[in-house]
Amino acid sequence: MTQNEPTAPEDASLDELRAEIEDIDRELVELIARRTYVADSIAQVKDERDLPTTDEGQEERVMERAGRNAEHFDVDSNLVKAVFRLLIELNKVEQRESR
């Protein structure tokens, strides 16, 4: 089994499935940290260029992309969009506080 291949329920114990969730949770946090780092870099560029914190067009593109990705992976798009909305709002708060 490869790292990204989910364990088939019939082949795994409860402990193995929980360990798999633990690995996925760690990966999610790592991805959020990477995304936050890049968002901070974007904030610096916006500050240097005297651009506004909010870019509604970009936010809309991010939300549309999140919805498409959710559909591609057969995940509830409302859930995915809610997560992305939260990430965007948190990044905007950080950008405002750093200015």
Q: What is the pLDDT of residues 1-54, one digit of tens each?
A: 455 677 676 777 999 999 999 999 999 999 999 999 999 999 999 999 999 989
Question: What is the reported pLDDT for 94?
Answer: 84
**Ordered structural domains, the chain, with CATH:** 12-98 (1.20.59.10)
pLDDT at 12: 78
Mean pLDDT along residues 58-79:
98
Alpha-carbon gap, residue 74 to 61, rounded angstroms: 20
Q: What does the H/E/C string look like for 3-59? A: CCCCCCHHHCCHHHHHHHHHHHHHHHHHHHHHHHHHHHHHHHHHHHCCCCCCCHHHH
Rounded CA separation 74/77 (Å): 8
Closest-CA residue to 99 (of 39, 43, 56, 55): 43
